[in-house]
Amino acid sequence: AQKITQTQPGMFVQEKEAVTLDCTYDTSDPSYGLFWYKQPSSGEMIFLIYQGSYDQQNATEGRYSLNFQKARKSANLVISASQLGDSAMYFCAMRASGGFKTIFGAGTRLFVKA
Amino acid sequence: NAGVTQTPKFQVLKTGQSMTLQCAQDMNHEYMSWYRQDPGMGLRLIHYSVGAGITDQGEVPNGYNVSRSTTEDFPLRLLSAAPSQTSVYFCASRSEGPPAPYEQYFGPGTRLTVT
């Protein structure tokens, strides 16, 4: 069975500093994709970044990067130079390649302090 | 291009009532799904569809029905509402074709309260 674990219910970070949000996963599928989504207080779900299990390099999208450690089954999200607008809920998710079901972790709420 | 739309945005039901949450997408996506979001539990998959006429159950399907008669629409029906179904409901769609990442596009959500 597939599982996503986010162990940090809440995190605080100072504005302009970097922060790492943890995500570990469990799957027996050899090919899968890992996703991070942001949910601001307004409630919408915003796609941030994707990492394929066979991708050789860690994914990056602007200030977001994904620290992918396949042997440890971790896919941590790193946000550089935090901004006040980064305060939100962040969800890690996974889907087996060719699979139909995307499963989500419980989320981490990030608070950025001025 | 409206993306994924959901109606209503808010709904209050009494226990035992039935209702349908509407979801539509205009991106010609084959795959559509319904999630519920409860505090501390992330998003849990209720039902999904891989094309018109094809639906399947997710993690928490009990108490919900779906159908997919067109590519665009994927309504979620609550047959007899229970307080345990109080939640925020999200509809999502994605493409099955390349290129990756095949991320999901989410609707704005429906906040449902069952009293």
pLDDT tens-digit map of B28-54: 999 999 999 998 788 999 999 999 999
Scan residues 34-93 of A and list those with Cβ closer than 8 Å to B. 35, 43-45, 47, 50, 52, 91, 93
B82 touches chain A (CB under 8 A): no
B32 touches chain A (CB under 8 A): no
Subunit contact A50:B43, Cβ cutoff 8 A: no
Give yes or no for A104 touching B (CB within 8 A): yes
Low-confidence ranges of chain B (pLDDT < 50): none
Identify the CA nearest to A45 among candidates B27, B56, B89. Answer: B89
The predicted-structure confidence for A39-49, as pLDDT tens digits, reads as follows 999 999 999 99
What residues in A contact B88, CB-CB < 8 Å? 43
Q: In this structure, what token pair is assigned to residue A39?
A: 């949910």
Contact predicate B20/B77, CB 8 Å: yes
Q: Which residue has the higher pLDDT, B62 or A1?
A: B62
Q: Does B74 touch chain A (CB under 8 A)?
A: no
Separation between Cα atoms, residue B43 and residue B34, nearest integer Å: 9
Place of tokens 């989410």: B106
pLDDT of residue B96: 73
Indicate the average pLDDT of chain A.
94
Q: How far is A104 from chain B (nearest CA, A)?
A: 6
CB contact under 8 A, B106 and A45: yes
Burial of residue B67 (number of CB atoms within 10 Å: 0-12, 13-18, 19+): middle
Q: Find, among B54, B62, B33, B31, the residue nearest to B45 by Cα.
A: B33
Identity of the residue numbered A114: A
Give yes or no for B27 touching A (CB within 8 A).
no
| pLDDT in the model for residue B39 | 83
Task: Please indicate if any CB of chain B lies within 8 Å of the CB of A106.
Answer: yes
- Interchain pair A104, B104: CB under 8 A: no
